[in-house]
Amino acid sequence: MSESTVLPVVRLCAVTAETAWDVFELSETLSAEQRNMVADNAESIAEAHFSDRAWYRAISADGELAGFLMLHVGADEEIDCPGVFLWRLMIAGPYQGRGIGRRVIESLVEYLRTRGIHELHASHGDGPGSPESFYTALGFVPTGEHYGEDHEVGVVLRW
Ligand SMILES: CC(C)(COP(=O)(O)OP(=O)(O)OC[C@H]1O[C@@H](n2cnc3c(N)ncnc32)[C@H](O)[C@@H]1OP(=O)(O)O)[C@@H](O)C(=O)NCCC(=O)NCCS
């Protein structure tokens, strides 16, 4: 990273009646391949309403709506992972490649560390549009677990 690199200021914000449609529409900015890798935000928020383990937020970067994050905390029949699991993460197409996804994960790690939590689980699909390289760049390693009817490879970041 060069000395002149300016890191984005990332915030996690509640999704409100005023912002919900804008959050839904972020999904339309992903490529077709990327849309195969992550559920649409509207679908994720609908799922969250039927799960008492879901926690979701909109991602703002330098004050602009840029993405969506959803965690799953604790194991259940949906995700059999005892811990914090990165259920959904998407950065809107025009905002990708600017370090926002990295800052989101770093912020999450900072927060989890203060809560005495020392790992973050996630999973990814394979093939075109796969975010595997993103997880590798951030230090996630494979766990040997599989999720989503075994289509997704489990990875974990430990600190
Ligand atoms: C994966 C995703 C969240 C990455 O967000 P992003 O803000 O573009 O990522 P960043 O700019 O913070 O990149 C962080 C690092 O990952 C790498 N990276 C990110 N996307 C990558 C890709 N598609 N291929 C290779 N490397 C990638 C970057 O090179 C960077 O590495 P560096 O910091 O060592 O240079 C974003 O591409 C996305 O929303 N994809 C569609 C949805 C998805 O797959 N979500 C994850 C599964 S639920």
The per-residue pLDDT for range 102-128, each reduced to its tens digit, is: 999 999 999 999 999 999 999 999 999
Question: Residue 152: which pLDDT band, with cuts at 50, 70 and 90?
Answer: very high
Q: What tens digit of pLDDT does each residue of 42-98 get?
A: 999 999 999 999 999 999 999 999 999 999 999 999 899 999 999 999 999 999 999
The per-residue DSSP string of the chain comes to --TT-----EEEE---TTTHHHHHHHGGGS-HHHHTTS--HHHHHHHHTT-TTEEEEEEEETTEEEEEEEEEES--SS---SSEEEEEEEE-GGGTTSSHHHHHHHHHHHHHHHTT--EEEEEE--STT--HHHHHHHT-EEEEEEETTTTEEEEEEE-
Question: Is 10-158 CATH 2.60.15.10?
Answer: no
Distance from residue 92's CA to the centre of ligand 1 (Å): 11
CB 30 near ligand 1, within 6 Å: yes
Nearest CA to ligand 1 atom 23: 131
Sorted by where each begins, the domain ranges of the chain are 10-158
- Pocket of ligand 1 contains residue 99 by CB under 6 Å: yes
Q: What are 4-58's pLDDT values in tens digits?
A: 678 899 999 999 999 999 999 999 999 999 999 999 999 999 999 999 999 999 9
Residue nearest atom 14 of ligand 1, based on CA coordinates? 102
Give me ligand 1 centre to Cα 80, in Å: 25
Q: Whose CA is closest to 58, among 98, 113, 95?
A: 95
Query: pTM here?
Result: 0.95
**Atom 17 in ligand 1: residue holding the nearest Cα:** 134
Cβ 61 under 6 angstroms from ligand 1: no
| Element of type H or E holding 46 | helix 41-48
Q: For position 148, what pLDDT does the model report?
A: 82
Substitution candidate for ligand 1 out of 106, 134, 152 with most atoms within 8 A of CB: 134
